Amino acid sequence: MNEKNNSMAEQPASATPTPPLPAAATIVARAADFRIFSSNFFRLRLGPGETTIVFCTATDVPAGMPLPVQVPGRGQTGAQFLNVIQEDFAVTVTWPVLKTLLLHAGQMLEAIEKEIGPIRSLKSTTSQEKAIERYRQVVRATLPENP
């Protein structure tokens, strides 16, 4: 018999056969360089058909204290109270993935708030209307011009 056609019946009794994967199986594998980061701030960058979420660490630095990063024109010490935002890493996703992410995050937050009560939200410095208009302008700029 050809080796490629060995049946399970021909295997020794002690061997445990590996069951075949179902047609719709999803295998989750972790990359060798996988790491977990902590972030207390984020920035959004809008591109054509995608959005980049930049995760950051925001730090308040009082006057005269060493800065966590080199700031051009300021050296390594804050001359006045500064808010330093250090960009740590970014993830770029397509708009459908972004929408799915927001849907799942919204469901997760709803479940959390049902258990522990409302979660305090950080206030944006931009009104919702201004933010939406700014994003619309960026989206329009990424679309191909009408012939």
- Segment 115-138 mean pLDDT: 86
Q: What is the pTM of this model?
A: 0.66
pLDDT at residue 39, rounded to an integer: 93
Distance CA 65, CA 59 (A): 12
What is the rounded CA–CA span in Å between residue 94 and residue 140? 16
Looking at residue 104, its pLDDT comes to: 97
Q: 28 to each of 24, 31, 97, 135, how far by Cα in Å? A: 13, 10, 18, 34
- In this prediction, residue 59 carries a pLDDT of 84
